[in-house]
Amino acid sequence: MASNNEYQTPFNSRYCTEEMKQLFSPRNRFSTWRRLWIWLAEAEKELGLAGISDQALAEMQSHIIIRDEEFALIEVEEKRRRHDVMAHVHGFGLAAPSAAGIIHLGATSCYVTDNADLIFLRDGLDLLLPKLATVIKKLSDFARKYRDQACLGYTHGQPAALTTVGKRTCLWIQDLLMDLRNIERSRSDLRFRGVKGATGTQGTFLSLFRGDHSKVEELDELVTKKAGFESVFTISSQTYSRKIDLDVCNSLGSFGATCERIFTDIRHSAMMKEIEEPFETDQIGSSAMAFKRNPMRSERGCALGRKLQNLPMDAMATYAHQWFERTLDDSAIRRISIPESFLCADALMLLLDNVMSGLVVYPAVIERRIAQELPFMATENIIMALSEVGVSRQEAHEEIRVLSHQAAAAVKLEGKDNDLLDRIRKQEFFNPIIGQLDQLLEPKSFYGRAPQQVDKFTGPGGEVESALAKYEDVIRKGGRVDLNV
């Protein structure tokens, strides 16, 4: 069983960072509740509410972090009361007896549960964003390195016009930049629920401050500031709107889809032996087939990406099924799906960083595959060259059509290499341009502006640089990558 400082989940492993596991751990959850009770009591005292002593606040402060032995006592109380928040109010009161009478004063359960969840959403996104920025930076460096490494493009799963390894990488980066933007927006949209009372009307706090509306508003703003939020919801029900969860989980789920798409490309590239993920000297690919180099990291990435992109459905259904000011059918599912969305996203960040830090490119294999297809792609160039020396385009088209079909049959029916160029060289019809053949088949003439597009996209003043500007320091301080993930 996981400790009270670790979230109990299938992701409890080296595949998630300790920071993310601890963020959603029982100890952090319930210690955050205690912080919220302290902030509320401090704010009430600062605004003149009587009965909150310095000793009470001091005792609360000295017991912010819930201890192991307290969990057992609180568990007994929860079984008795069937109410987790009241069990923890009781437990905190035992730890800080001078404060027992003022803990949770005027509040409803959602003051701690919901405000704590908003803190976890905020802090979780703050953990993920720099990791995503770091991955994008590493991919950007990789794209620039291979900006002009020609490779076959594929449409419909079939060889198409050439592109470059760097340009294809930019397709991944562009999608990750969209994820970065979506997650940043979800982070910036977060607000604190604040001090709102049972149905969000702040009625209990208005009573505490004897009808002084300005004091109630000050209380809301003061606790919000203590919690580190810039703004607070003006309107809430007993809970903050579950649409907030949906918004955050959607941004993470979209990132999960991006991960599956990228890792699928890597798996296909590995299948063709063009690009592979890191593979250690002593790594075993298969228990039966010793030669195997299975792309296990990318396969895991596809699995976790698929899981993450499905988790927003939990948040969507939960939001849609809320009644009026609240129902409790949201509680159990949120305690599972929200942490697992973040833990899954965190695991994917580690996988992306790991794989992108050690991608292996095999130019010789890539170029051999180009050589098998390029003669067919070059036929239009050959026809145009013949036309420039006075040969009829229609005649040139017919001659090369026949030879192309013959070469294709040799490849498909006899398993031979593409010998179209040899067939062309043997035909007197093509003598006027034989000396130009090598130039006409130069891969650089087939991938257009791919290298220049990479430069513009990833270079100074480009989209990547602009998006990563705020993360420069954290990227620069990035630690060593563990390729054993």
Lookup: tokens for 451: 């290298």
More confident residue, 418 or 132: 132
Write the DSSP symbol of residue 276: E
**Cα distance between residue 392 and residue 36, in whole Å:** 84
Please identify which residue in the block is written with the tokens 């730890």: 95
More confident residue, 335 or 284: 335
In this prediction the pTM is 0.90
pLDDT of residue 479: 47
**Cα distance between residue 147 and residue 150, in whole Å:** 8
Active site residue 268: no
pLDDT above 90 (res 85) = yes
Query: At 340, is the pLDDT very low, low, confident or very high (cuts 50, 70, 90)?
Result: very high
**Cα distance between residue 195 and residue 175, in whole Å:** 39
pLDDT of residue 483: 44
Cβ atoms of 194 and 188 closer than 8 Å: no
pLDDT above 60 (res 134) = yes
Q: Which one, of 387, 406, 471, 402, lies nearest residue 126 by Cα?
A: 471
Q: State the distance between the two ends of the chain, measured CA to CA, in whole angstroms.
A: 23
Q: Which one, of 393, 477, 388, 405, lies nearest residue 439 by Cα?
A: 388
Q: Which one, of 102, 101, 91, lies nearest residue 64 by Cα?
A: 91
pLDDT of residue 281: 53
Phi first, then psi, for residue 483 (nearest 5°) are: -75, 0
Q: Which one, of 101, 94, 97, 108, lies nearest residue 33 by Cα?
A: 108
More confident residue, 280 or 400: 400
pLDDT of residue 6: 65
Give the active site residue among 3, 207, 286, 466.
286
Lookup: tokens for 15: 């595949």
Lookup: tokens for 400: 């090369």
Mean pLDDT over 98-122 rounds to 97
pLDDT above 60 (res 185) = yes
Cβ atoms of 28 and 68 closer than 8 Å: no
More confident residue, 396 or 257: 257
Amino acid identity of residue 127, one-letter, is: L
pLDDT of residue 3: 63
3-state secondary structure 134-192: HHHHHHHHHHHHCCCCEEEEEECCEEEEEEEHHHHHHHHHHHHHHHHHHHHHHHHHCCE
Measured from the Cβ of residue 56, the count of other Cβ atoms closer than 10 Å reads 21
Active site residue 286: yes
Cβ atoms of 236 and 271 closer than 8 Å: no
Q: Which residues contact 55 (CB under 8 A, 6 or more apart)?
A: 98
pLDDT digits (tens, 9 = 90+) for 439-485: 888 888 889 999 999 999 999 999 999 999 999 988 887 644 444 45
